[in-house]
Structure 1
């Protein structure tokens, strides 16, 4: 089982943003009997390894956190969350799993939220990766995380529930990332790995994905879309097409036209 511990990292001794404070407040609101541990310079040795030492000296707080999060969850077990993650319900029904993680969107499992029992093999392999680094490498933790899940644990690129090797459970994006009605966590994307200009756009992109996913995968999508536009007149076609880059529309029409020509020739 996963212990009732919520881990987060706050290195650099800077004051927490208003968003971070609001998000962290939701953790105890929905999980009042969980221990919350903040990892910082006071309780984590930033000189213990060349990777984390160099990252700290360069004030790359996100990379310090990359090392600290896997070490903490490997040794103690529990849930790791980025400080820009808002909890929306109790984690109690997740405790039964050996290890859990989720998709940010299709094809991209992410490391902003994950959990495991102590010394689980998946987190051990993540931790081993950092221990093998002789210096800091500018590589997103999510890239390493996704590669390991796909190549060693058999995760598929689809954004769906999956039970993987060694008791790792992979959840769809609406569980721990998207701002949708039924979830556990909303990710607000305020991380230091994104500059200010891209934070809002990235969040909007991920949440738009959450809304588009059921439409794209809908079996009768064309019929429903036609009903909304022509019968119920909820939207007109121009409003929808205006949101799609013109070059994509032209390429789509071109491909469809060529398909029809090939069919006629045969």
Structure 2
């Protein structure tokens, strides 16, 4: 059985914005009997491997968490949640699975599909968590030839490890050995505008790792702790665009 422990990461010692505080509060409300464990500089050696060390030096906290999530669950078992995940229902029904995760569906026409390890759980010592963790052990943070992060984001790493043994990039429930991958209606992408009675959690994609310019309103919201409002507007506009696109097809 997966232990009733929710692991999350908060590196950099910065203040948690409203959206993050709201999400963590939802975990406590929905699953009050679960223990919460925050991984940070006080209980994890950021110099453990070169990937994490260099990501930390570059202040890329999300990439530090990419490794630490697997380290935490491999060594202790439990459930990992990104801090921008709001929980709506208890995860109790998944605790008898050796490993469970969701599906991420993004991009134009939902073309991008991958294993979603922003929400996942496993028993202590699980082989898949170990393989994901060990992928980072011999990788530099940045690829010298491209200047980009080695292996891309954590979802790509997790997906590429599972593909050779039967995972299909499809938005449906799948079982690969003792790994259970659920459709994104369980641990939903925010773009899906899900019926809250049918899902367990919503991922708001806070995007704290994203570089570059994303417009005035994005920058303003990030600077003034208004990302929770920005994301709600983003969901609404996405919903309106889909309605208009549907009407145009008629």
What TM-score does the superposition give when structure 1 sets the normalisation length? 0.73
Work out which of the residue numbers 157, 161, 168 in structure 2 matches 1:148: 161
> 1:184 maps to what in 2?
200
Count of matched residue positions in the alignment of Structure 1 and Structure 2: 213
1:193 alignment partner, one of 209, 213, 230: 209
Distance 2:119 2:54 in 1: 24
The residue aligned with 1:131 is 137
Determine the C-alpha separation between the residues in 2 that align with 1:7 and 1:104: 20
Alpha-carbon distance in 1 for matches of 2:207, 2:246: 33
2:127 aligned residue: 121
Matched residue, 1:163: 175
Distance 1:239 1:184 in 2: 28
Q: CA deviation at 1:48?
A: 1.4
What is the DSSP-based 3-state SS (H/G/I as helix, E as strand, rest coil) of the residue aligned with 2:171? coil
Residue correspondence of structure 1 range 28-47 to structure 2 within 5 A: 28-47=28-47
Of the two structures, which has the highest relative contact order with CA contacts closer than 8 Å and spacing of 6 or more?
2
Which has more helix, going by share of residues?
Answer: 1
Residues 1:127 and 1:239: Cα distance change in structure 2 (over 3 Å): closer
Q: Determine the structure 2 residue equivalent to 1:17.
A: 17
Using the TM superposition, give the Cα deviation of residue 149 of structure 1 relative to its aligned residue in structure 2, in angstroms. Answer: 2.1
Query: Rg larger in 1 or in 2?
Result: 1
Gaps of 5+ in 1: 213-234, 245-266
**Structure 2: which 5+ runs fail to align?**
143-148, 219-229
> How far did residue 28 of structure 1 move?
1.2
For the aligned residues, what is the CA RMSD? Answer: 2.6
Which consecutive segments of 4 or more residues in structure 1 shift more than 4 A? 198-201
3-state SS, counterpart of residue 148 of structure 1: helix
Q: Which SS does the other structure have where 2:136 is aligned?
A: helix
Q: Is residue 173 from structure 1 mapped to residue 180 from structure 2 by the alignment?
A: no
| TM-score normalised to structure 2 length | 0.78
